[in-house]
């Protein structure tokens, strides 16, 4: 392990590409590598799984090295934090008072411990929506199709296709055909991604950025309402929209 950490330090000193990277620039690769681990496991190819797990580990080592350079934490801190969490969340293994639990009891205890850990910080209910579900595959398919000459000459063609798909979705919503509506919605999303690709944007990162922004603003709304002993359900849209604007102003500050 130390050899790997030393190698990462060497790459950061001597490789121009590695030197350019930031924690933000690498996150897309971590997401990609996680999906590739999933695909490898599903394939049943053990050698492939080993390789992809190494690629995923690289992302942890790389990020840890960059934060170490900032004086924030290093790889050993990551390991220690993980060890502490695993022991804390497995009292049924390490604490005699909690042993002999069945699977249901273990699951319930796990949730209780997680809830206790989060008591020290405000948590939006949107935290229940887990990070993931990328649109990266659609953009990659479009990039590949473009190499086979199946592509618009410029972004104008992609805009026109998006307009066409939006109109078809509008028409589909006038019917009760749920499957047709879903199909047209998928076409619209695919066309929107194509516009982003033609604008040289990473659509996955763009959406993750918007999701993070939405989470932050909604959490601001919840916290502001909590100070008034209110919840979003007790407010009308005008009140929530006013707080949304306040959250945007808070970001600019």
Spatial contact of 49 and 33, defined as CB atoms under 8 Å apart: no
Please give the Cα distance from 93 to 128 (Å, whole number): 27
Please give the Cα distance from 40 to 59 (Å, whole number): 17
Which uninterrupted H or E stretch holds 164? helix 155-172
Backbone dihedral region of 82: left (phi > 0), alpha (psi from -120 to 50 degrees) or beta? alpha
Task: Supply the DSSP string of 102-154, one letter for each residue.
Answer: -HHHHHHHHHHHHHHHGGGS---GGGGS-S---SHHHHHHHHHHHHTT-S-SS
Range of the domain at 162: 152-201
- What was the pLDDT predicted at 86? 93
Is residue 242 one of the residues assigned to a domain? no
Backbone dihedral region of 251: left (phi > 0), alpha (psi from -120 to 50 degrees) or beta? alpha
Is residue 96 one of the residues assigned to a domain? no
What CATH number does residue 11 fall under?
1.10.287.1080
Is residue 132 one of the residues assigned to a domain? no
Is residue 168 one of the residues assigned to a domain? yes
The structural domain count of the chain equals: 2
Domain closes at, from 44, 62, 88: 88
Spatial contact of 185 and 169, defined as CB atoms under 8 Å apart: yes
- What was the pLDDT predicted at 109? 85
Which uninterrupted H or E stretch holds 194? helix 178-198
Domain closes at, from 88, 103, 122: 88
Is residue 214 one of the residues assigned to a domain? no
- What was the pLDDT predicted at 123? 63
Domain closes at, from 68, 88, 108: 88
- What was the pLDDT predicted at 135? 83
Is residue 120 one of the residues assigned to a domain? no
Is residue 94 one of the residues assigned to a domain? no
Is residue 126 one of the residues assigned to a domain? no
Averages of pLDDT over runs of 10 residues in the chain (253 residues) are 97 97 93 90 95 98 98 98 93 84 84 77 62 73 89 96 98 95 97 97 89 92 94 95 95 88
């Amino acid at each position: 392990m130390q050899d790997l950490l030393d190698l990462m330090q060497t790459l950061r000193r001597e490789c121009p590409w590695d030197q350019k990277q930031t924690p933000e620039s690498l996150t897309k690769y971590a997401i990609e590598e996680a999906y590739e681990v999933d695909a490898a496991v599903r394939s049943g190819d053990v050698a492939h799984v080993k390789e992809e797990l190494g690629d995923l580990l690289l992302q942890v080592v790389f990020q840890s090295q960059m934060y170490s350079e900032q004086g924030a934490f290093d790889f050993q801190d990551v390991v220690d934090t993980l060890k502490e969490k695993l022991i804390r969340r497995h009292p049924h293994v390490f604490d005699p008072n909690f042993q002999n639990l069945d699977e249901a009891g273990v699951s319930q205890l796990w949730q209780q411990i997680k809830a206790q850990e989060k008591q020290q910080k405000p948590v939006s209910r949107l935290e229940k929506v887990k990070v993931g579900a990328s649109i990266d595959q659609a953009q990659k398919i479009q990039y590949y199709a473009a190499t086979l000459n199946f592509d618009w000459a410029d972004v104008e063609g992609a805009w026109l296709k998006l307009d066409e798909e939006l109109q078809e979705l509008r028409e589909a919503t006038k019917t009760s055909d749920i499957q047709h509506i879903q199909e047209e919605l998928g076409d619209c999303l695919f066309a929107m991604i194509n516009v982003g690709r033609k604008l040289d944007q990473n659509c996955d990162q763009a959406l993750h950025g918007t999701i993070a922004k939405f989470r932050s603003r909604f959490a601001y709304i919840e916290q502001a309402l909590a100070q008034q002993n209110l919840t979003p359900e007790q407010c009308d849209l005008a009140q929530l929209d006013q707080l949304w604007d306040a959250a945007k102003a808070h970001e600019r500050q």
